[in-house]
Structure 1
Amino acid sequence: MRFASLGSGSQGNALIVDAGVTKVMVDCGFSTRVATARLARLGLTPDQLTAILVTHEHGDHLGGVFAFARRHRLTVFLTHGTHAAASRASPTLPECRLIDGHAAFAIDGLEVLPFPVPHDAREPVQYRFDDGQHRLGVLTDSGSITPYIVEVLRACDALVLECNHDHALLAASRYPALLKRRIGGRFGHLENAQAASLVRQIDSRRLQHVVAAHLSQENNRPQLAVRALAAVLGCSDDWIGVAGQEGGFAWRQLS
């Protein structure tokens, strides 16, 4: 299994998980044209994708999903709540499969476990992927860490983990007070120290890759996120990956 990002941040998100014949996209906050161009950077074409999984209905995650799915005849997997929220904005949706946010399901040989997260959306989830040999955990857009999140991600071989903001930078930013409270609240986004706290609570001995994702361009710095995670793992800063808004990150292989 390998994974890569087309881009990560408030202007658009998409992650690719490649388990051989099964290749899924998690979210698509980009236009079809941009997503196709960024897939090409990874050596992929849209017709190689199997499905799109959606985490929640916010535009930076859902904005390009339905146009891309219709264009390339892909099934979209999403929760009932996300589907209901999306239906209000777009009454004509492509083929969708509604999922239980607590129940694992299979896409060919890839096991997908959605898990609920505290975020200000209708029924948000994140995902853990298992190809029978390795596990990849993905956690972004969560305002806090729950015991269940820790349990789901306890024994992963790789993590894509939100490090949205630094507490001091957010407090000093130009954002309105209401927006600051939303971002820093328990249904907002993870701060660097919160992400590090999660890593501290799981079995990090199995980790081959850790990538900091969904960094705020205004309220965080890559070196701050990296430093927080590396301190907990006891590794060098350059071992921690960072998902950028424009470049995402290149393929990372699990072996």
Structure 2
Amino acid sequence: MKYCAIASGSNGNCYYIAKDDSAILIDAGINSKHIHLRMYNLGIIPTQIKAIFITHEHSDHIRGLSVFAKKYNLPVYITKGSYEGSRLHLPSHLVNIIAPDEEVEIGGLKIYGIPKYHDAKEPCSFLVSDGVHNIGVLTDIGRPCENVQHVIQHSDILLLESNYDEDMLHTGRYSYFLKNRISSGWGHLSNRVAVELFNQYKTDRLKHLILTHLSGENNTVDLVHATFEPHCEHIKLHVATRYQETELFDITQILNKQTVSSPTVCLG
């Protein structure tokens, strides 16, 4: 399996996971032009994509969906609530309505829906498996629940939201309403809550952690890295940023590596 963050942050999210000749996207939250540019940088051929899975209807997760899906005639898997909330008008033959906890098979990949708390109409995260290894993609988590805990416990690779620093949010320029929305238990995970969740439920099978969906206003790469680094002695650590894609990782190389080097920041 290969995987990367094509885009990650409060301004746009798009994640790539592939097994042999089958590849999927989770979300398409940057415009189609930039999805193409970032794929080109990674050597990803757009026609390798077989399907797009959408976590929820917020614009930073669907901004490029319509153009990209129609260009390549790609099936879109999305919950009924998310599709209705998106106000997208995709061709009906591309729309596949799924339950938040549904299982879908695309080539050699099985994609499991993970219901979660978030201020959207019917959101879900996803766990992607090839039957041997699991990649969990957990963003836009209002608060930890048993579903999220279960994904962390069973992931070999984990992409986990670490959205905001609590002090930066509370002293920042956001309105009271927006601050409350973010921290209410229906918005996002703070750095503190994310690392507590990670420490409580990670297992020895977890080999690579990528921190994702950082706020541009209320977080920094350095803060996130400093928060998690002491807890990743035997886990490869990257922090995805909004500015560029991460590298394209190969799960075989990650899992077969006998000595894990010092955690690093991936500016992507």
Please state which band the TM-score falls in when normalised by the shorter chain.
over 0.9
Tell me the SS of whatever aligns to 2:66. Answer: helix
Distance 2:154 2:203 in 1: 8
Distance 1:48 1:204 in 2: 32
Q: Which residue pairs with 2:81 in the alignment?
A: 81
Tell me the SS of whatever aligns to 2:16. Answer: strand
Is residue 155–residue 202 contact of structure 1 (8 Å, CA) maintained in 2?
A: no
Indicate yes or no: 2:50 matched with 1:50.
yes
- What is the deviation of 1:99? 1.1
Is residue 117–residue 142 contact of structure 1 (8 Å, CA) maintained in 2?
A: yes
Normalized against structure 1, the TM-score is what?
A: 0.94
Aligned length: 251
- What is the deviation of 1:103? 2.5
- What is the deviation of 1:231? 3.0
Tell me the SS of whatever aligns to 1:228. Answer: helix
* Corresponding residue to 2:242 among 225, 242, 245: 245
Tell me the SS of whatever aligns to 2:126. Answer: strand
Tell me the SS of whatever aligns to 1:248. Answer: coil
Tell me the SS of whatever aligns to 1:211. Answer: strand
Is residue 38–residue 245 contact of structure 2 (8 Å, CA) maintained in 1?
A: no
- What is the deviation of 1:148? 2.1
Indicate yes or no: 2:163 matched with 1:169.
no
Distance 1:29 1:75 in 2: 16
Once the two structures are superposed, residues 106-155 of structure 1 have per-residue CA deviations (whole angstroms, 9 ceiling, x without a partner) of 11220111111111101011000111221100101111001221023312
Q: Which residue pairs with 1:134 in the alignment?
A: 133
Distance 2:233 2:47 in 1: 41
Distance 2:76 2:88 in 1: 14
Ranges in structure 1 where 5+ consecutive residues have no aligned partner: none
Bigger shift: residues 94-103 or 181-190: 94-103
- What is the deviation of 1:19? 1.0
Is residue 207–residue 234 contact of structure 2 (8 Å, CA) maintained in 1?
A: no
**Aligned runs of 1:104-253 on 2, under 5 Å?**
104-234=103-233, 239-253=236-250
Q: Which residue pairs with 2:251 in the alignment?
A: 254
What residue identity is the alignment partner of 2:240?
A: A
Once the two structures are superposed, residues 177-203 of structure 1 have per-residue CA deviations (whole angstroms, 9 ceiling, x without a partner) of 111111111000100111112212224
Indicate yes or no: 2:63 matched with 1:63.
yes
Distance 1:48 1:155 in 2: 27
Is residue 9–residue 216 contact of structure 1 (8 Å, CA) maintained in 2?
A: yes
Indicate yes or no: 2:28 matched with 1:21.
no
Is residue 29–residue 60 contact of structure 1 (8 Å, CA) maintained in 2?
A: yes
What residue identity is the alignment partner of 1:20?
A: D
Is residue 168–residue 218 contact of structure 2 (8 Å, CA) maintained in 1?
A: yes
Is residue 154–residue 201 contact of structure 1 (8 Å, CA) maintained in 2?
A: no
Tell me the SS of whatever aligns to 1:161. Answer: strand
Is residue 199–residue 233 contact of structure 1 (8 Å, CA) maintained in 2?
A: no
Ranges in structure 2 where 5+ consecutive residues have no aligned partner: 253-268
Taking only aligned residues, the RMSD between alpha carbons, in angstroms, comes to 1.5
What residue identity is the alignment partner of 1:32?
A: S
* % same residue: 32
Distance 1:140 1:85 in 2: 18
Is residue 195–residue 229 contact of structure 1 (8 Å, CA) maintained in 2?
A: no
Normalized against structure 2, the TM-score is what?
A: 0.89
Tell me the SS of whatever aligns to 2:198. Answer: helix
Q: Which residue pairs with 2:259 in the alignment?
A: none
Distance 1:114 1:92 in 2: 21
Distance 2:105 2:39 in 1: 23
